[in-house]
Amino acid sequence: MTSAGSGASEPEPFNGVPRTLSERAGLLAARPSLWEYMLFAGDLLAERDRLGAKWRDEELGLPRGTRTYLASESEAINHGQVQLGFIQASLRPFNRLFEPEVQERAFGARGEPGDAARIEHLAKRIIGSYEELLDWAAGLRACTVPDRFETLYDLLPQMASDSIRAIHDVVDRVATETARIPALVERPTPEEPVTIELAVILRVDEEISQAVSDELERLSGD
């Protein structure tokens, strides 16, 4: 029983990649060496894992959401051209998230502490882009188009595949690397500096992009 006037118990100190809210609170309470990177890894995992069903749909190449009927050929080609522009434009702001000044705002300059709120925001923006790509690809698979446009609409979702996989995999890589931090920091005579590779640059596969462009050109010329 809690005595009168006492507040909630303090979080149990935690040193590692947090997998639960209580571990996250404990990490923020303890703030061990390089806590910023462990917090980032935990936030990335939590945000990505809530999208597990969407990721599994992507692995299976399944549609999702309301089916879109593009009955006429003009609708099908116009929609395809719009979507081609969307995927190319959507990758640019994502890549800015890994610029040095953005990283420094979140993780702090050398010798300075990071900002937990900015770290959380950065993780959410990264996984927000991941979800946007998952939804975009699944939405294209949910399009019903005239028969001769089926190749185009099979190709378009593939333009996001490499980027989706890159984001999914970098979360695992960051989690694996940051999980080593406590043991590395405690070494009595470090043999090498502790480095964490956070960068991932998204690009559209050139072969898929060219195949989409060729298909659009063929369809426009028919």
Which residues are CB-contacts of 190 (< 8 A; sequence separation ≥ 6)? 184
User: Do residues 157 and 86 make contact, with C-beta atoms less than 8 angstroms apart?
Assistant: no
DSSP 95: H
pLDDT of residue 1: 36
With tokens 């333009």, the residue in question is 159
Q: What is the pLDDT of residue 110?
A: 86
In this predicted structure, what is the pLDDT of residue 8?
A: 63
How many C-beta atoms lie closer than 10 Å to residue 92's C-beta? 9
Amino acid 164: pLDDT: 93
Specify the pLDDT at position 190: 57
Low-confidence stretches of the chain (pLDDT < 50) are 1-5
Report pLDDT for 26.
96
Within 114-149, residue ranges assigned H as helices are 116-141
Q: Which residues of 29-60 are buried (b: 16+ CB within 10 A; e: fewer)?
A: eeeeebbbbbbbbbbbbbbbeebeebbebbee
User: What residues does 143 pair with on adjacent strands?
Assistant: 68
Check residue 98 and give its pLDDT: 84
For 149-205, the pLDDT digits (tens) are: 999 999 999 999 989 999 999 999 999 999 988 888 777 665 666 666 667 778 888
DSSP, collapsed to helix, strand or coil, labels residue 33 as coil
Q: What pLDDT is stored for residue 172 in this prediction? A: 93
- The whole-angstrom separation of Cα 208 and Cα 149 is 16
Task: State how far the Cα of 83 lies from the Cα of 4, in Å rounded to an integer.
Answer: 61
Instruction: Report pLDDT for 2.
Output: 43
